[in-house]
Structure 1
Amino acid sequence: MVRQDRTTVSERIDRSCDLLRSAYRRRVIYALRRSGPASVGELADVVTAAGLADDRQRAVASLVHTHLPKLSEADIVDYEDADEVVSLAGGVEDLEPFLAVAAEREADTDYLTFTGPAVASDAVARYMPD
């Protein structure tokens, strides 16, 4: 029985790390936590402004074909197609401990500094311990 519990915990950690290894996906989650539901275009603006994509079109393509489907499949975001508004889903709560650490570390860099709909310091503050 203990072995099964350890496997389950280990699998959850692996899944969380896989989801959060992409700066695109972390940026999407930060933006949705900070500003609430957003269109794919708004999220593309966020990742482009953060320097994660060369241009908006590439950001939209990457979000639509890779990152949003992966987050949706894991129940982190609610999203079905490029015309739909993206919002956080219940599964994001499983990522909270990892997001707190990632946001804290990324706050120490210029990575979260950008001019866009979400303010970096507020996005990090949502994950910082009191």
Structure 2
Amino acid sequence: MTQSRLESLEVDAVCTILSDATRRSIVCYLREVESATARELAGQLASSDGHGADDAGHDSRRTALVELVHVHLPRLAEHDIVEYDDPAEEVTLGSNVDEVEAFVEPSEGTAAE
């Protein structure tokens, strides 16, 4: 990725934002499904240990949801990597997602089921 492609986002900001595996997984998952609710994302993240989303425990999903809503989604939305509609709990890819694509490996994301 060249410096000219990162006009909206600074390289340091991208590296900091995407240094977290959860945020990279969110971007990968949304690239597959285009749109998800925060609860759907939490289920996917909670099941990333190899079990299906239905097998993830209630506490795991709840913890993942709290982290999503209070940490990861606001951080990604702040840099327009995702758009998060809080009242609807709807998450979609943002306008800067193309600028971070080289930093996110498809194999890191959670598989859409």
When normalised by structure 1's length, the TM-score is: 0.67
Shift of 1:83: 3.2
Shift of 1:59: 0.2
1:94 matched to 2:99 = yes
The structure with more helix, counted as a fraction of residues: 1
1:83 maps to which residue?
Answer: 88
* Greater C-alpha radius of gyration: 1
Give the match's secondary structure for 2:86.
Answer: coil
Give the match's secondary structure for 1:90.
Answer: coil
Give the match's secondary structure for 1:75.
Answer: coil
Q: Distance in 1 between matches of 2:101 and 2:41?
A: 20
The code of the aligned residue for 1:71 comes to: L
Higher relative contact order structure (alpha carbons within 8 Å, sequence separation ≥ 6) = 2
Shift of 1:80: 3.6
1:1-130 matched pairs, under 5 angstroms: 12-51=10-49, 55-81=60-86, 83-99=88-104, 103=105, 107=107, 118=112
The structure with more strand, counted as a fraction of residues: 2
Runs of 4+ in 1 over 6 A off after TM superposition: none
Structure 2: where are the runs of 5+ without partners? 50-55
